[in-house]
Amino acid sequence: MTVKVRFAPSPTGRLHVGNVRTALMNVLFARSVGGKFLLRIDDTDLERSTKAYEDGLRDDLTWLGLTWDESFNQSERFDRYEAAKQTLIEQGLLYPCYETEEELDRKRKIQRAQGKPPVYDRAALQLTEEDRAKLEAEGRKPHWRFKLSGGRIEWTDLIRGPSHIETSSVSDPILIRADGSYLYTLPSVVDDLDAKITHIIRGEDHVTNSASQIEIFEALGGAGSAPQMGHQPLLIGADGEKLSKRLGSLSIEGLREEDGYEPLAILSLLAKIGTSDPVDVRNSLDALVEEFSFDKVSRNPARFDGAELTRLNAKLVHEMDYADVKDRLAAINADAGEAFWAAVQPNLEFVKDAAEFAALINGPVTPIIEDPDYAAEAAALLPEGELDADSWSAWTGAVKDKTGRKGGALFKPLRLALTGQTRGPEMAMLLPLIGADKARRRLSGESV
């Protein structure tokens, strides 16, 4: 059997870290066993789905390196969903219901007040043809529910282990709304059957739905047709609270365009949180694939910490060769050469931060001169000619001998005068890039 998994986002917004964690786990599993990864665009909601969002999610996945082997849109397959609807009706497993949302809500409140679970009472099954005709004459349109067996559905979850749901404890799921539009479940089952999906890997918020879906799989595809399932714990924030309310601010587009994170920092964090592996950067997606195993995935929630993501990003940046970032530096007017990159790299969390340090070289810098006499003495001792890696040591040694200063009293005023900052890249590497002429002018208080 060739493993085949799918990721099925809706093009109604941008991808966020929660979506991507699901996509990533599917990709890691498929590639670890030589399987295939399908991207399915769940765009049956024609009003909210847009081409711009679809293009955006494809761009985000491509940027992350989560490329797919196959892809299709649900909006192209309504005929298949209609055929499945008719099949279920003929089997007596899909039935029309006419209650309004207000009536259903009232029923649930009464059940709770009586200490009963708020499970649909199947009143619609008692309606006669005459009853239905009367309701439709009043202008009511039916929504359609799938009739569950009421039995115990068992499966061995790839992450949670032996699992079961008593379908008598849940309501018959609505598959089709009163306006004729499909909810997620029926199109998803039809597509999974047609695409020959072998494994469904998703968040644990879908566990309760799994029993219903397994019964629909078997109704449409026969016994044993349901894919194997794995449900991963959901993400929580660093504070232990649910992350769902803040996911909008954690879009992949925002992390890339606004914050400047590297794709491998995001992938490394999402692949390792909630597992037994240490959370650290990996230098390729292939490395994450090699380490993947469902056995490592914890049953506890995975903690997403923005500070940890930044730490991983900085570690990646510190390992980047100049050739890898040259074009990116040029795009932000920060390509001051390989020596510049070597000088500033250890101080960066993001590549884009190099622009701030490039300004120290190119200017203008507003010097901070706390002691003009000391600055003037230092300027007079600055070596003549072109400066090199040894110039800082030789210069500060001469200043120390002349002034008697040492430690912070020696070095800090020089850094403030030359960069206008209290800290930053090593001055031994910066000084040759600034140059002797510009250094003297800054030591005299000139903004250059």
What pLDDT, on a 0 to 100 scale, did the predictor assign at position 225? Answer: 97
Is domain 372-443 annotated with CATH 1.10.10.350? yes
Instruction: Determine the distance from the C-alpha atom of residue 303 to the mean position of all C-alpha atoms in its chain, rounded to a whole number.
Output: 13
Answer whether 230's CB lies under 8 Å from 201's CB: yes
229 strand-pairing partners? 200
Distance separating alpha carbons of residues 7 and 232, to the nearest angstrom: 14
Assign 245 a pLDDT band (cuts: 50, 70, 90): low
Superfamily covering domain 238-318: Glutamyl-trna Synthetase; Domain 2 (1.10.1160.10)
Size (the chain), residues? 448
Task: Report whether the peptide linkage leading into residue 364 is cis, meaning its omega lies within 30 degrees of zero.
Answer: yes
Assign 384 a pLDDT band (cuts: 50, 70, 90): confident
What pLDDT, on a 0 to 100 scale, did the predictor assign at position 243? Answer: 72
Which runs of E-coded beta strand occur in 9-160?
Answer: 36-41, 70-73, 94-97, 143-146, 152-157
What pLDDT, on a 0 to 100 scale, did the predictor assign at position 248? Answer: 59
Q: What would the pLDDT profile of 385-394 be if each residue is shown by its tens digit?
A: 899 999 999 9
Is 219 a residue whose pLDDT tops 90? yes
Residues 6 or more apart whose CB falls under 8 angstroms from that of 432 comprise: 339, 386, 387, 388, 389, 391
Assign 51 a pLDDT band (cuts: 50, 70, 90): very high
Q: What would the pLDDT profile of 186-203 be if each residue is shown by its tens digit?
A: 999 999 999 999 999 999
Average pLDDT, the chain: 95
What pLDDT, on a 0 to 100 scale, did the predictor assign at position 366? Answer: 96
What pLDDT, on a 0 to 100 scale, did the predictor assign at position 185? Answer: 96
Assign 246 a pLDDT band (cuts: 50, 70, 90): low
* pTM of the full structure: 0.92
Segment 318-328 shows an average pLDDT of 97
**Helix%, strand%, coil% for the chain, nearest 5:** 50, 15, 35
Domain boundaries, the chain: 4-79+182-235, 238-318, 322-362, 372-443
Is 240 a residue whose pLDDT tops 90? no
What pLDDT, on a 0 to 100 scale, did the predictor assign at position 249? Answer: 67
Segment 81-105 shows an average pLDDT of 97
Assign 239 a pLDDT band (cuts: 50, 70, 90): confident
381 strand-pairing partners? none
**Kind and range of the H or E run holding 5:** strand 4-7
Annotate 190-255 with DSSP letters as a single string: HHHHHTT--EEEEEGGGHHHHHHHHHHHHHHH-TT-SPEEEEEPPEEETTSSBSGGGGGGGBHHII
Segment 54-59 shows an average pLDDT of 97
Distance separating alpha carbons of residues 405 and 46, to the nearest angstrom: 73
Segment 347-375 shows an average pLDDT of 96
What pLDDT, on a 0 to 100 scale, did the predictor assign at position 24? Answer: 98
Is 79 a residue whose pLDDT tops 80? yes
Token pair of 197, please? 């999906």
Superfamily covering domain 4-79+182-235: HUPs (3.40.50.620)
Q: What percent of the chain has pLDDT over 70?
A: 99
What pLDDT, on a 0 to 100 scale, did the predictor assign at position 237? Answer: 87
Residues 80, 47, 216, CA angle at the centre, nearest 5°?
Answer: 35
Distance separating alpha carbons of residues 313 and 76, to the nearest angstrom: 40
Segment 421-440 shows an average pLDDT of 96
Segment 245-256 shows an average pLDDT of 80
Segment 313-339 shows an average pLDDT of 96
Q: What percent of the chain has pLDDT over 90?
A: 95
